[in-house]
C-alpha cells in the first residue's frame, strides 16, 4: 500500500554512546523551542545568541534578528567561501596569489601586503583568520572570484542559501559601508556551517602566534602574526571563531568552545568594550555547558534492520541508518524520556540500493526533535511474470 506509514514506539534511556553527527534532514531547533525555556541571563551587549552546534538549537537569544554592523566578523563568510573553493578544487593551499593594488590598499587591520607581492593561499588564510587582515581577505576574494565585487555577490548569494535573512554584504573584510549588516542569528548560522562542514577552520583559529614572509622587489622579510581572539587564553575549551571591532560597530564576536563532546557558539554584537564582549560570551558559554547534555543513540535500528516490501522478488529489504542520532537536552528537558518511532516511506518494489525508504523519528514531550534516514542496503527488483513462475516451480519442487 503506497504511502503507508507504520509507527513503532520504543522507550529509550536518556544517554547512549555515539560516534557520528545528526543529519540536517529535520530542523530540530524549531520543534525544540517548546522544550527550552529562555534563561534569565545578565547580558550587557545589545544583541546576543547561544547555539548548540550539532543540532543548531538556540539556547538563548537577545535581539538576535536585529541587523547590526558586524565589522571583521564579516570574514566568517570570506572564510567559508575560501574553504568551499578549496574543497571544490578551485584552489589549493600551495597556490600562489599575486596581491593587487586594490587588496594592498585596504585600511584597518592588515599585514601590509604590497602590490605585486606573492603569497600562498595557506598564508593568506592565516593572515585573514589569525590577524584579521583586511588586505589578505580581499586578496583571497579576488583569487576566488576575480574581483572583490564579484566575490561580494557570491557572499550575498551564499547568505541567502543558508537562510541568513538579516545579512547583506558590501565588502569581503568588514570595513564600514552603508548597508553592510549581519544579525546575531545569521552569524550563528554561518559559524555552524563553518564548524560542521569545515572543521579544519579551528586549525587556523587556534593559532596563537605565527609568521609569514613578505616577498617583494626589495627582498624577503619576516612578519609576525598574533591572534586577535584573546578569548582563547581566557576560557577553557575555546577554539574560535572570529572577533570584530570598529568605532561605529563596537565589539562583536562569534566565540566557539568545546567541552565533553558539546560544542557551543556564542555570538555578541555591539558591545561597548572588549571586556564586556568577553564577559558576555563567557556568561553564555557557562550557561550552555552547565545546562546542556547530549542525548545520543548510536543503535538507531536496535537490531531490527529489515523492512517488508511488497511486489518484489524478495519480501523484505535490509536497511542501514544514514548516521547515528544526537540532540541537546537543556535544563528540565534532560530528564524527560525520549522515544523513537519508525516511519515507513516506501513499502513497494522496486527499491534502489541506497534509496531512503524509511525514517526513525525521535520525540520528547510529544515534539519531534529530529530524525535519521534509513537507506536500503540492497536493491529489490519489481516482481515480474518470470519471477512468479520461478517461485511456483520452486514451491512445486519443495512439495514433492
DSSP class of 332: G
DSSP class of 127: H
Angle between helices 134-145 and 148-162 (to 10 degrees): 90
* Torsion angles phi and psi, residue 14, rounded to 5: -75, -30
Burial class (CB in 10 A: 0-12, 13-18, 19+), 259: middle
> DSSP secondary structure string, 220-250?
EEEEEEE-S-GGGGTSTTEEEEEEEEETTTE
| Grid cell locating 176 | 564600514
CA-wise closest residue to 315 among 359, 399, 381: 381
- Other C-beta atoms lying within 10 Å of the C-beta of residue 396: 9
DSSP class of 155: H
Cβ atoms of 294 and 329 within 8 Å: the answer is yes
Cβ atoms of 324 and 286 within 8 Å: the answer is no
Sign of the C-alpha dihedral computed for residues 329, 331, 335 and 341 taken in this order: negative
Cα–Cα distance measured from residue 65 to residue 49, given in angstroms and rounded to the nearest whole number: 10
- Catalytic positions, written as ranges: 72, 75, 132
Task: Give the end-to-end CA distance of the chain in Å, rounded to a whole number.
Answer: 34
Cα–Cα distance measured from residue 79 to residue 173, given in angstroms and rounded to the nearest whole number: 10
Cα–Cα distance measured from residue 85 to residue 146, given in angstroms and rounded to the nearest whole number: 13
Residues 6+ apart with CB under 8 A from 398: none
Beta bridge partners of 373: 359
Amino acid at each position: 500500500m503506497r504511502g503507508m506509514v507504520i509507527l513503532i514506539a520504543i522507550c529509550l534511556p536518556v544517554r547512549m554512546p555515539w560516534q557520528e553527527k545528526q543529519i540536517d534532514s529535520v530542523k530540530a531547533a524549531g520543534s525544540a523551542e517548546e522544550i527550552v525555556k529562555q534563561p534569565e541571563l545578565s547580558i550587557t551587549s545589545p544583541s546576543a545568541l547561544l547555539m548548540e552546534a550539532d543540532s543548531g538549537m538556540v539556547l538563548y537569544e537577545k535581539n538576535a534578528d536585529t541587523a547590526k554592523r558586524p565589522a571583521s566578523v564579516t570574514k566568517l563568510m570570506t572564510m567559508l567561501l575560501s574553504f568551499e573553493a578549496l574543497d571544490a578544487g578551485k584552489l589549493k593551499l600551495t597556490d600562489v596569489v599575486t596581491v593587487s593594488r586594490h587588496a594592498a590598499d585596504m585600511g584597518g587591520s592588515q599585514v601590509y601586503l604590497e602590490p605585486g607581492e606573492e603569497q600562498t593561499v595557506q598564508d593568506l588564510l592565516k593572515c585573514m583568520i589569525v590577524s584579521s587582515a583586511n588586505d589578505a581577505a580581499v586578496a583571497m576574494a579576488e583569487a576566488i572570484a576575480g574581483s572583490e565585487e564579484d566575490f561580494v555577490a557570491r557572499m550575498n548569494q551564499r547568505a541567502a542559501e543558508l537562510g541568513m535573512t538579516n545579512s547583506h554584504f558590501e565588502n569581503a573584510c568588514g570595513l564600514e559601508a552603508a548597508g553592510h549588516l549581519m544579525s546575531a542569528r545569521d552569524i550563528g548560522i554561518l559559524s555552524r556551517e563553518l564548524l560542521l562542514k569545515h572543521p579544519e577552520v579551528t586549525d587556523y583559529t587556534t593559532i596563537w602566534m605565527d609568521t609569514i614572509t613578505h616577498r617583494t622587489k626589495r627582498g624577503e622579510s619576516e612578519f609576525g602574526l598574533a591572534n586577535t581572539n584573546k578569548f582563547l587564553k581566557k576560557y577553557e575549551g575555546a577554539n574560535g571563531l572570529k572577533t570584530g571591532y570598529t568605532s561605529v560597530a563596537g565589539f562583536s564576536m562569534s566565540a566557539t568552545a568545546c567541552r565533553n563532546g558539546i560544542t557551543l557558539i556564542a555570538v555578541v554584537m555591539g558591545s561597548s568594550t572588549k571586556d564586556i564582549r568577553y564577559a558576555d560570551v563567557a556568561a553564555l558559554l557557562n550557561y550552555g555547558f552547565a545546562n546542556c547534555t547530549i542525548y545520543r543513540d548510536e543503535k538507531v535500528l536496535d537490531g531490527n534492520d529489515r523492512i517488508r516490501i511488497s511486489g518484489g522478488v524478495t519480501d523484505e529489504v535490509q536497511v542501514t541508518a544514514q548516521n547515528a542520532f544526537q540532540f541537546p537536552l537543556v535544563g528540565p528537558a534532560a530528564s524527560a524520556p525520549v522515544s523513537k518511532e519508525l516511519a515507513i516511506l516506501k513499502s513497494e518494489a522496486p527499491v534502489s540500493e541506497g534509496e531512503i525508504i524509511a525514517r526513525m523519528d525521535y520525540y520528547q514531550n510529544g515534539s519531534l526533535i529530529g530524525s535519521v534516514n534509513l537507506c536500503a542496503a540492497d536493491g529489490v527488483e519489481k516482481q515480474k511474470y518470470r519471477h512468479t513462475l520461478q517461485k511456483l516451480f520452486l514451491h512445486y519442487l519443495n512439495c514433492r
